[in-house]
Structure 1
Amino acid sequence: MMNSATSSERINALHAAHSASLLRFLIRSTHGERQTAEDLAQETMLRAWRHADRLPDDFAGEQRWLFAVARNLVIDLFRARQSRPPETPVVDLNRLSTTVDSTDAAIATQSMVTAFEQLTAAQRDVLIDLHLRGEQPHAVAAKLRIPVGTVKSRAHYAMRALRHAMEAGD
Structure 2
Amino acid sequence: MREAEDFIQDVHAHHRAALLWRVRQWTAGDAQLAEDVVQETLMRAWTRRGSLTCVAEELRPWLYTVARNLVIDAHRRRAVRPYESLGDGDEEPVAACHAEAVADRVAVVSAMRRLSVAHRRVVEQVYLWGRPIGEVAVELGVPAGTVKSRLHYAMRTMRRELQGRA
Please, what TM-score do these two structures have when normalized by structure 1?
0.49
Classify the secondary structure of the residue corresponding to 1:31: coil
Distance 2:86 2:20 in 1: 27
Please identify the structure whose Cα radius of gyration is greater: 1
Partner of 1:72: 69
1:1-170 aligned within 5 A: 4-86=1-83, 87-91=85-89
8 A Cα contact 2:10 2:54, kept in partner: no
Distance 2:48 2:19 in 1: 18
Deviation track 1:100-132 (CA, whole Å, cap 9, x = no partner) reads xxxxxxxxxxxxxxxxxxxxxxxxxxxxxxxxx
8 A Cα contact 2:27 2:71, kept in partner: yes
What amino acid is aligned across from residue 77 of structure 2 in structure 1? Answer: A
Q: Give structure 2 stretches of 5+ with no counterpart.
A: 90-166
Please, what TM-score do these two structures have when normalized by structure 2?
0.50
Could you say if the C-alpha distance between residues 20 and 53 of structure 1 is closer, same or farther in structure 2, counting changes exceeding 3 Å?
Answer: same
What amino acid is aligned across from residue 31 of structure 1 in structure 2? Answer: A
Q: How many residues align?
A: 88
Q: Give structure 1 stretches of 5+ with no counterpart.
A: 92-170
Between structures 1 and 2, the one with greater helix share: 2
The root-mean-square deviation of aligned C-alpha atoms, in Å, is 1.3
Distance 1:68 1:85 in 2: 25
Deviation at 1:89, TM superposition (A): 2.1
Classify the secondary structure of the residue corresponding to 1:52: coil
8 A Cα contact 2:7 2:54, kept in partner: no
Could you say if the C-alpha distance between residues 36 and 88 of structure 1 is closer, same or farther in structure 2, counting changes exceeding 3 Å?
Answer: closer
Identity in percent = 39
